[in-house]
Structures are given as C-alpha cells and as structure tokens.
Amino acid sequence: MDRNDLVCICKSVSYGKIEDAIDNGAQTYEDILEETEAGSVCGGCIERIEEILDRLVVK
C-alpha cells in the first residue's frame, strides 16, 4: 500500500495517516479511531484497519 492510498473513504484517512498513528503509539482500532476518526461513518474500513494493525503493530 502507498501512503496516499485511502483506507477510510468516508473520513479521507490515508494509509500514511494510519501508519503515523501507529508510529505515535496507536495499538488498537480504538486508538486509530480516536486519532483519525477512521471507521466512524460506515464502518466498512474497520477490517482493513485491523489488517494494517496486525501487520504493523509490534506485539
């Protein structure tokens, strides 16, 4: 995925914004929601966000 690719269309949240939120300490979908509002409209992107978290969050 490219940093400019939109993950959440409703809130125009790009992959880069999700990456930055994770770099800033976000570890769960709730953290991403709080920081970016991604997923707060139709919810269709939540699964994609969970997948990104699975890949990028160091456990």
Q: What is d(CA 54, CA 41) in angstroms, rounded to the nearest whole number?
A: 22
Contact set with ligand FES (CB under 6 A): 8-11, 38-45
CB of 45 to ligand FES, least distance (A): 3
CB of 42 to ligand FES, least distance (A): 3
Contact indicator for 10, 42 with CB cutoff of 8 Å: yes
Contact indicator for 14, 7 with CB cutoff of 8 Å: yes
Smaller CB separation from ligand FES, 29 or 58: 29
Smaller CB separation from ligand FES, 45 or 59: 45
